[in-house]
Amino acid sequence: MARLFRYHTQIILDSIADGVFTVDLKWRITSFNRAAEKITCISREDAIGKECWEVFRASVCEKGCPLKHTMQTGRPVLNNSIYIINAKGERISVSISTALLRDRNGKIIGGVESFRDLSALEELKKELKDKHTFFDIISKNSQMHRLFRIMEHVAESDSTVLLVGESGTGKELFAKAIHSMSRRKDGPMVIVNCGALPDTLLESELFGYKAGAFTDARRDKPGRVTLAEGGTLFLDEIGDLPSALQVKLLRLLQDKTYEPLGGTKPVKANVRIIAATNKDLDALVQEGKFRDDLYYRINVVRLVIPPLRDRKEDIPLLTEHFVGRFSRLVGKDIEGISQSVLQVLMSYDFPGNVRELENIIEYATLICDGNIIDVEHLPDNLRLRMGLDPKSKFHVPLNKMSSLREMEREYIYEVLRQNNWNRKMASKQLGIHTTTLWRKMKRLNIKPP
């Protein structure tokens, strides 16, 4: 009878799509179903009798084993995401759940763990991420995707590009993307921050100098323009360029020539110029602080990068990206952020844009000692700005934040507005079916103007 029961149990276990195995009190595997064989590429005969960590080689085997936690505390674990290494040496993402095994008298005799292969889901997530990634720039915003399409055409030429955007919007990433798509991609990309160097050094850094140009100039030194030969010269914060250098840069743009400091002959340059600024150059021209002829020379292709507060649909994508990157760097298995943290981030205006979000997630990843980043892991200054007690470990007060329903309504309304209330285009941007969008509009009482 007992043998027949075990036989029927094995048939049932083999019919389950999830991998299932059991262990005794010495952590030896006592049963191993067919799905477990398929996921791990290890046969039942080879697995039974071995200690479980010999078979799975999981990311949590050395510390934080969920099954060990269940055996010690009696509390089950549900849908914990980890990865295992199969017999082929491949890393497989799985979701595991654990429980205790007891005999008829209630005595603990071992544990059971089920695990679901998430490889297909991970591939789908990767495919979706690839659709929203453009040369390391992550966005699902329609305005950003329009910029991506323009950049593909701009990259084919040598036209001067002016990137306009607030600090932290990723202007350097845009410049690198244009360079990487251009025919100059095999050449160097040299970056000069016009606001980071004093005026006395900037000219020699940009154009180089000849031996004897000044007291300590014992030998010729090539400038950044020379170093960028055959490639791209990225002039960041060009609005801080002093007046004397604006004249020399204008000559470089007009004649493709320049003179090193102390030089007597013009040098021919083969570089493409990409400039960036977070200032209002039109206003600087009106004030006489920026040459109008230089402004017209650099303002050939003008790309305006929207701030993060105007593309809040990118916050979850960027957050997931930063959590993954920083958790790998510090050797942690952080799965993501809590709903309360998402609510805080979606309600915040991010004056520092993407760079500020990146810094927030880096700090939270370092502080977090669990699997989920919660409100108490956010920087104190952010919590104070949002009206949260920096010492509190509770979730966001509902009277301080919009409800999730209101956030969803505001987000969908904004996407519809951006697409001129075209439901087909809006549903495509939202990643949902047109019928689903119509139902959401009805439920959230969103009516076209």
pLDDT higher at 448 or 327: 327
- Kindly indicate the confidence band of residue 119, based on its pLDDT and cuts at 50, 70 and 90: confident
Q: Which residues pair with 45 in a beta bridge?
A: none
Amino acid sitting at position 417: R
- Kindly indicate the confidence band of residue 269, based on its pLDDT and cuts at 50, 70 and 90: very high
C-alpha distance from residue 112 to each of 70, 93, 139 (Å): 10, 19, 42
Structural domains of the chain ordered from first start: 2-123 (3.30.450.20), 137-306 (3.40.50.300), 309-385 (1.10.8.60), 404-443 (1.10.10.60)
- Give the side-chain half-sphere CA count within 13 A for 275: 27
Residue 352 Rama label (left phi>0; alpha psi -120 to 50; beta): alpha
pLDDT higher at 124 or 97: 97
Q: Is pLDDT above 50 for 182?
A: yes
For residues 100 and 71, is the Cβ–Cβ distance under 8 A? yes
Assign 170 to helix, strand or coil: coil
For residues 258 and 251, is the Cβ–Cβ distance under 8 A? yes
For residues 360 and 377, is the Cβ–Cβ distance under 8 A? no
Output the CA angle 54-60-61, nearest 5 degrees: 25
> pTM for this structure?
0.62
Q: Which residues pair with 162 in a beta bridge?
A: 275, 302
How many CB atoms within 10 Å of residue 127? Answer: 9
Q: Rounded distance, CA 212 to CA 210, Å?
A: 6
Alpha carbon 57 to its chain centroid, in Å, reads 28
Among 59, 49, 127, 125, smallest CA distance to 94 is for 59
pLDDT (0 to 100) of residue 13: 77
Among 333, 305, 267, smallest CA distance to 61 is for 333
What distance, in Å, lies between the first and last C-alpha atoms of the chain? Answer: 72
C-alpha distance from residue 53 to each of 25, 27, 77, 203 (Å): 14, 9, 18, 62
C-alpha distance from residue 412 to each of 218, 348, 354 (Å): 64, 18, 22
Q: Stretch 395-415: mean pLDDT, rounded?
A: 61
Among 405, 446, 404, smallest CA distance to 426 is for 446
Q: Rounded distance, CA 42 to CA 31, Å?
A: 13
Q: What are phi and psi of 374, to 5 degrees?
A: -115, 180
Residues 6+ apart with CB under 8 A from 52: 21, 23, 27, 28, 29, 61, 67, 113
Among 233, 246, 125, smallest CA distance to 189 is for 233
- Give the side-chain half-sphere CA count within 13 A for 116: 12
How many CB atoms within 10 Å of residue 275? Answer: 28
DSSP per-residue letters across 312-359 = GGGHHHHHHHHHHHHHHHTT----EE-HHHHHHHHH---TTHHHHHHH
The tokens describing 238, both together, are 């060009």
Assign 356 to helix, strand or coil: helix
The tokens describing 146, both together, are 């329009």
pLDDT (0 to 100) of residue 292: 94
Q: What are phi and psi of 227, to 5 degrees?
A: -65, -25
pLDDT (0 to 100) of residue 298: 94
pLDDT (0 to 100) of residue 18: 86
- Kindly indicate the confidence band of residue 360, based on its pLDDT and cuts at 50, 70 and 90: very high
Q: What is the average pLDDT score of the chain?
A: 84
Q: Which residues pair with 277 in a beta bridge?
A: 164
**Model confidence pLDDT, tens digit, residues 213-243:** 566 667 788 889 999 999 999 999 999 999 8
pLDDT (0 to 100) of residue 214: 62
Q: How many residues does the chain have?
A: 449
The tokens describing 324, both together, are 């993954």
Q: Is pLDDT above 70 for 368?
A: yes
DSSP state of 221: B
Q: Rounded distance, CA 382 to CA 425, Å?
A: 35
Q: Is pLDDT above 80 for 57?
A: no
How many CB atoms within 10 Å of residue 220? Answer: 15
